[in-house]
Amino acid sequence: MDASERKPGRLVAAPENFLTAQGRSRRSAMANLLGGAAAGVAALVLGKAQAAGYAADPAHLPPHVPPWSQDLGKPVGTDPYGLPSPYERNIIRRLSPGLTTTSQSSVAFTPLQNLFGIITPNGLHFERDHNGRPDVNPYEHRLMIHGLVREAKIYTMEDLLRFPSVSRIHFIECGANTAMEWGNPAVPTVQYTHGMLACSEWTGVPLSTLLDDVGFDAKKAKFILAEGADGASLTRTIPIGFALNDVLVAYGQNGEMLRPEQGYPLRLLVPGVQGISNVKWLRRLKVGDEPWNSREESLQYTDLMPDGMSRQYTWIQEAKSVITSPSGGQHLLDKGGYYQITGLAWSGRGKIKRVDVSTDGGRNWRTAKLQEPILSKALTRFRLDWRWDGSPALLQSRCIDETGFVQPKMRQLREVRGTRSIYHNNAIQTWQIDAEGKVHNVQV
Amino acid sequence: MCRSDRLRALGFAALCVVGAAQAAGVDYRLGREATAQEIAGWNIDVRPDGQGLPDGKGSVAQGEKVYTAQCAMCHGDFGDSNEYIAIAGGVGSLKTDAPVRTVGSKLNCATTLFDYVNRAMPFPHSKSLTPDEVYAVTAYVLNLNDIVPANFVADRDSLLKVKMPNRDGYEPFPGLSRIDGRPDTHNTACMHDCEKEVTVTGSLPPNFIAGMYGSLDDNFRGLETMNERVPPSADLPTMAAASGRDDVHVLIQKYGCVACHSPDKKIVGPAFRSVAEKYKGDAGAEKRLHKKVREGGSGVWGTVPMPPQTAPTEADLVAIIQWVLAGAPEK
């Protein structure tokens, strides 16, 4: 093994390491866009000058002893609710510039490029609201269940916390995840391409338990309407088969109560189904015999086909995967260095059976290692050892779920659905590594 | 009436999972009976067959008044605003490369328009309209889309007879609605020599990232760059800052001011800083703005009216106006 092969694989974060702090705001970013190329050229020169790494203070390194090894630390319990290290403060949800017209009906994306394993930390679970995020008082929150039932009932949160509970790990993916990529690559990082995705351990009452408790009409009931307590009072139709199978009325998220961004104090959890069906701030469930055709299942959240027809009630999130590292915006520094390719795979139809990875744009594939646990309708972490030989590469992942369904290529999706259907883009993602090791979002 | 027969063809019955229900379940003695009055207050959903439509009615002319006062500032005088979501126009565009999804071009049921306005609009103050006002606004928006005539009066019966232009524009697709549905893509798990040629067909334009996103450095964890990167810069939103913003910033969010105003740019209403500029040195400005916010008005910044704002407490409103007149400082 020569010297270069012994070097660890290094990544630098991004090519654009030249902008000032102000450059990060959307406003000045837009101004830069409009301001012409001159500023860009100057910035690139600066970029080279600043490419050097973190200058560690030699006094903090062996054989010396850093101050944190000598000083008395903070008292225990200084942070009664713990926070990440200040050195992690850039690990945050982000809004995609220019995506939405208001900040209340908008989305903040999960930084998938920064995460390990399959569980999304609660503070990083993506947030999609339609009329802003309410602060619901749980002592005054009520769940009403009525419609085709023997006895319409109202439950307090205290009631719901007393029912027999279950905990299960499931992903939630917005139906519009990867929507911006139908026509062309449109965003730079996996946070924006795939970040309307999260996975948590959810705790709650099986909806079937509550439906039994109100004595739902098993003969007539075909659908459930779920409604939120937010300004949108967002509604979605849930087929009764799903409702009785694995739907939860959930209050717990990774061991604590739901975060407000995820529907505190109560949300519906409809495993494997479009994120929007997992109605947040759940206030009402109505048992009925027809679908409701709500705005969010007619004007929006329907798949527009090339012939102008819209596919309606397309609930299921089909199998999909993405490599989260190396991914768009990163920079591989070491030719011949070792890099672990890692990413996530999931299916709304069950478990992930296999993930294959290609480094040559889909010509040849190798099967990745799957990290246990491999759970139904949950994220599955995959990994593959890789040594980058320094030549340009095209990284892809392709998953197969337990039904045998193989994640499609972008062009296969377009052949059937065109480029305007917004929802359900589960295409294979391609990350291009150029000769300098910079990683770009491309399509092949 | 809105069609739902196509969707019945989905064969939903097959979705039912037998056996999940425990008929003779435990009597948990939790929860209590919902009274008819309680249910009536929350039971607002309206189905395509008209179930759920309340008593009441409203004309196009009445709807115009409500629309002008409560809706036009975001959706535009004729519903075709580019600022927010257009609700009129775009008929025939769904087959094109630039589909416009509006009430006229895409929505299949007039009942859904009623349901949505009734539950979620006006954006800053949802559920504030009376049933008559919702009927009226529904009539007006249908008229804006040339779906009903100017003398149309919306009520429970007339809404069901409205023929939406795209009423036949929806179809079921079991491949995505049934767990055993047949997918419409058919990739195979080929392992070797799967593609003859691989060509990059799409990539981001040069300078796009720098222009739209600025630096992406902070999007990545410095440690994973093997000490090539510095720790996160100090100007990022910190955890403390995120939870403890200035009071006024919380207030302008809470009361929905930011739905139409921003500190430094025109959205629907003027930028806060433009307001400060206009009234600079005007001793009576605070009092006049106070009245304007409380009672609503238009004319100063164009024809788009500002609706009356009753929600802010007196103290909060004073704080907001003083902050605006101070030039809407960041901190």
Q: How far is CA A90 from CA A111, A329, B86, B229, in A?
A: 10, 15, 36, 13
Percent of chain A with pLDDT over 70: 88
By three-state DSSP, how is residue B151 classified?
coil
Q: State the angle between helix axes of B60-70 and B131-144 in degrees (0 to 180), rounded to the nearest 10.
A: 90
Residue type, A92: I
Number of Cβ atoms within 10 Å of the Cβ of B23:
7
Which pLDDT belongs to residue B121? 96
Per CB-CB distance under 8 Å, the chain B contacts of A419 are 97
Cβ contact B226:A8 at 8 Å? yes
Q: Using the beta-carbon criterion (under 8 Å), do B17 and A241 form an inter-chain contact?
A: yes
Residue A228: its H or E element: strand A223-228
Instruction: Estimate the share of chain A in helix, then strand, then coil, as percent rounded to the nearest 5.
Output: 20, 30, 50
Which pLDDT belongs to residue B15? 47
Which are the contacts of A335, defined by CB distance < 8 A and separation ≥ 6? A4, A388, A389, A390, A437
| A24 touches B at CB < 8 Å | yes
Mean pLDDT score, B90-110 = 94
| A227 touches B at CB < 8 Å | yes
Per CB-CB distance under 8 Å, the chain A contacts of B40 are none
ipTM over 0.85: yes
Residue A190 clears pLDDT 70, i.e. is over it: yes
Residue A327's nearest CA partner among A336, A340, A318 is A340
Tell me: the pLDDT tens digits for A29-80? 333 333 333 333 333 333 333 344 677 889 999 999 999 999 999 999 999 9
Q: Using the beta-carbon criterion (under 8 Å), do B215 and A53 form an inter-chain contact?
A: no
Distance CA A227, CA B44 (A): 10
Q: State the angle between helix axes of B285-295 and B314-325 in degrees (0 to 180), rounded to the nearest 10.
A: 130
- At B198, list the tokens: 């691989």
Q: Find tokens 């830069």 and name the residue.
A: A32
Distance CA B296, CA B309 (A): 7
Distance CA B329, CA B325 (A): 10
Residue A418 clears pLDDT 60, i.e. is over it: yes
Tell me: the pLDDT tens digits for A103-112? 888 999 999 9
Cβ contact A244:A207 at 8 Å? yes
Which pLDDT belongs to residue A22? 36
DSSP state string for A129-160: ESS------TTT-EEEEEESBSS-EEEEHHHH
Which pLDDT belongs to residue B67? 96
Residue A189's nearest CA partner among B213, B264, B74 is B213
Which pLDDT belongs to residue A178? 98
Distance CA A299, CA A130 (A): 14
pLDDT band at B220 (very low <50, low <70, confident <90, very high): confident
Per CB-CB distance under 8 Å, the chain A contacts of B199 are 444
Residue A178's nearest CA partner among A428, A377, A355 is A428
Residue B94 clears pLDDT 60, i.e. is over it: yes
Whether the ω angle into residue A373 lies within 30 degrees of 0, i.e. cis, is yes
- Which residue of B lies nearest to A367 if distances are taken between CA atoms? B191
pLDDT band at A374 (very low <50, low <70, confident <90, very high): very high
Distance CA A422, CA A305 (A): 10
Q: Using the beta-carbon criterion (under 8 Å), do B119 and A235 form an inter-chain contact?
A: yes
Tell me: the pLDDT tens digits for B136-174? 999 999 999 999 999 999 999 999 999 999 999 999 999
Cβ contact A32:A40 at 8 Å? yes
Distance CA A411, CA B200 (A): 12
Distance CA B302, CA B298 (A): 7
Mean pLDDT score, A195-207 = 98
- Which residue of A lies nearest to B108 if distances are taken between CA atoms? A298
Tell me: the pLDDT tens digits for A252-273? 999 999 999 999 999 999 999 9
- Which residue of B lies nearest to A89 if distances are taken between CA atoms? B238
Residue A365 clears pLDDT 60, i.e. is over it: yes
Rg (CA), chain A: 24
* Nearest CB to B170; choose among A21, A302, A361: A302
Q: Using the beta-carbon criterion (under 8 Å), do B31 and A155 form an inter-chain contact?
A: yes
Residue B249 clears pLDDT 50, i.e. is over it: yes
Per CB-CB distance under 8 Å, the chain B contacts of A432 are 200, 203
Distance CA A199, CA A222 (A): 29
Tell me: the pLDDT tens digits for B7-66? 554 544 444 444 444 445 789 999 999 999 999 999 999 999 999 999 999 999 999 999
Strands A153-156 and A303-304, sheet pairing: unpaired
Mean pLDDT score, A199-221 = 98
Distance CA A51, CA B230 (A): 10
Q: How far is CA A183 from CA A187, A411, A417, B203, in A?
A: 12, 10, 11, 11
Average pLDDT of chain B is: 85
* Nearest CB to B225; choose among A13, A233, A293: A13
Which are the contacts of A218, defined by CB distance < 8 A and separation ≥ 6? B21, B23
pLDDT band at A401 (very low <50, low <70, confident <90, very high): very high
Distance CA A199, CA A77 (A): 29
Which are the contacts of A217, defined by CB distance < 8 A and separation ≥ 6? A148, A149, A150, A287
Whether the ω angle into residue B99 lies within 30 degrees of 0, i.e. cis, is no
Number of Cβ atoms within 10 Å of the Cβ of A258:
27
Q: How far apart are the first and last CA of chain B?
A: 54
Cβ contact A258:A324 at 8 Å? no
Q: Which of A54, A61, A399 best probes binding to B when mutated, by most B CB atoms within 10 angstroms?
A: A54
Tell me: the pLDDT tens digits for A384-397? 999 999 999 999 99
Residue B240 clears pLDDT 60, i.e. is over it: no
Which are the contacts of B209, defined by CB distance < 8 A and separation ≥ 6? A15, A16, A188, A329, B216
At A345, give phi and psi (nearest 5°): -135, 150
Percent of chain B with pLDDT over 90: 52
Residue A367's nearest CA partner among A389, A400, A334 is A400
Q: For residue A289, give the DSSP letter.
A: S
Number of Cβ atoms within 10 Å of the Cβ of A250:
28
Cβ contact B65:B140 at 8 Å? no
| B4 touches A at CB < 8 Å | yes
- At A399, list the tokens: 């998953």
Question: A32-36, B102-106, B266-270: which has the highest mean pLDDT?
Answer: B102-106
At A296, give phi and psi (nearest 5°): -80, 10
Q: Using the beta-carbon criterion (under 8 Å), do A14 and B217 form an inter-chain contact?
A: yes
- Considering only A134-148, A330-344, B302-316, which range has the smallest mean pLDDT? B302-316
Residue A443: its H or E element: strand A439-443
Q: For residue B261, give the DSSP letter.
A: B
Distance CA A107, CA A128 (A): 4
Which alpha helices (DSSP H) does A2-129 contain, by range? 3-6, 26-34, 38-49
Q: Which of B82, B197, B216 best probes binding to A when mutated, by most A CB atoms within 10 angstroms?
A: B216
* Nearest CB to A185; choose among B202, B213, B224: B202
Q: State the angle between helix axes of B110-120 and B131-144 in degrees (0 to 180), rounded to the nearest 10.
A: 130
CB-side neighbour CA atoms (13 Å) of A57: 6
Q: For residue B217, give the DSSP letter.
A: G
Q: Using the beta-carbon criterion (under 8 Å), do B195 and A15 form an inter-chain contact?
A: no
Which alpha helices (DSSP H) does chain B contain, by range? 5-8, 36-42, 60-70, 72-75, 110-120, 131-144, 156-161, 174-177, 208-213, 239-243, 247-254, 272-278, 285-295, 314-325
pLDDT band at A11 (very low <50, low <70, confident <90, very high): low
Q: Using the beta-carbon criterion (under 8 Å), do A131 and B123 form an inter-chain contact?
A: yes
- The more confident residue out of B171 and A1 is B171
Distance CA A212, CA A193 (A): 41
Tell me: the pLDDT tens digits for A337-352? 899 999 999 999 999 9
Q: Using CB atoms within 10 A of its CB, is residue B119 exposed (0-12), middle (13-18) or buried (19+)? A: buried
Rg (CA), chain B: 27
Q: Using CB atoms within 10 A of its CB, is residue A246 exposed (0-12), middle (13-18) or buried (19+)? A: buried
